[in-house]
Structure 1
Amino acid sequence: MTDNSATQALRFEILGQVRAYRHDEPVDIGSLNQRAVLAVLLLHARSPVPINKIIHTLWDDDPPENAVDIVQRYVGGLRRALDPDRTSLLALTPDGYMLSAGTSAVDASVFRASLARARDAHQTGNLQEATGEVHQAFRLWQDEPLAGLTGPVFESARARLNQERTAAANLLAKPAPEEPTMLAPPVAVEPTVLTAAVPAEPVAAQPAPVPAPSGYQEPVDPWAGHDLFPPSPF
């Protein structure tokens, strides 16, 4: 953005309806088509957009004969609304029209910056910082991005922004790569327990004990007083 205080005070939204604000006061950006011209310039902020691309965005493959004149009128309307001091905020370059909006002036750019910081924090295991960045990024969303604007260019941009929003949500749904998966702690097992012979059938299914012949001792349970299984870890 330029050094002019009026243009420095501007901010733009596309994560919902396309809007412009100056000192938090709404700026009238005109008709739906003029709003669409602003939107395509914001999608390519700080890069020139050829007039043929703007025409294709507005009318696809069926532009009016005076499409160039109409686009020039829309750009003139945006200049009057956004840049009354006639700075270089919206300029015609050899490669097309360019809107010199700073990264912090467009909500989608702020969202992407927060998402990048969230990814970095997530990769280093700082989940608290990553979560805070994601929630801050989500607060920028008002509605479907570029709400009310139709056509292949805006549909593609809308899908891309929604994919980035899903990527941000995924950071909240999975642990960092370095974070170990939570498993039940290993249970120490006594060696003698592992060698214990487990009965092949449940105790209830075993036949009744046969009385010992006279002259022999009463049967003795060899496992009396011993644990057949280790204690439950839960």
Structure 2
Amino acid sequence: MDKRIDVPSVDREGVVYHVRPPTVAERASFQAAIIAEGGQEISKYRLLDALIEGVNALMPSDEDKEQREAYLARIDQHRADVLKAVEVYDQSDQEDEKVREDFLKAVATPKDIEELASIVSEHYQPYRRLVGEMAVYPQRAGIVAARMFLIGWSGLDEPFTRKLGRVEDSTLEPISPRDLAAIGAKVRELAQPSKATLGNSRSARGGSRAQEPSPVESGTPKKAPRQPSTAAGGAKSSE
């Protein structure tokens, strides 16, 4: 009998979804199925690199050099903070709730970087595209996870059925998008039980001025970023 892991509903009290852990062989097929559905996991490091590219693209002129360099330095600092938090987490008891809370707080995007990222997203299409892909990935991964590894539920009146080892999409209709994302997150955790998937740390250690793409997210100086100008000599919008 398959081992059963319970995933409480995010949206409905008393509803619990039951999944089974992926086998070693199924881990690869699970990832392949997500990709086939159009899902692309965007690491924090990759997103930071795209933000760096956006800052450079939107502020290319010499008159913007001082502020551009300040933004890039802030991104570098945030990258270093994230890497340090990952190293500490990897050496800690990851089952400890306090350890997990401290880790999530340490890798969270600071407000000043969020402000910069918002402006770059508005004016730099490559960054905006990655943000969009990152937003839809949890649900896409959740749909695939439910199809492959959902083995039942409690607290829902709708019948649960599996056919040929899979759950059909019609059976998944009662599950909310947030619950699908929760199912996907749990299955991904089970597939990599001791890994914090924040990206390729070797690539992440590159500086913000490196031209080779590597994984990461975003950064800014302490003053709020000004709106990039589209006038001659100012920042350009990339659509």
Same fold flag (TM > 0.5)? no
Structure having the higher helix fraction is 2
Bigger relative contact order, structure 1 or 2, given CA contacts below 8 A and separation 6+?
2
| TM-score using structure 1 length | 0.26
Larger Rg: 1
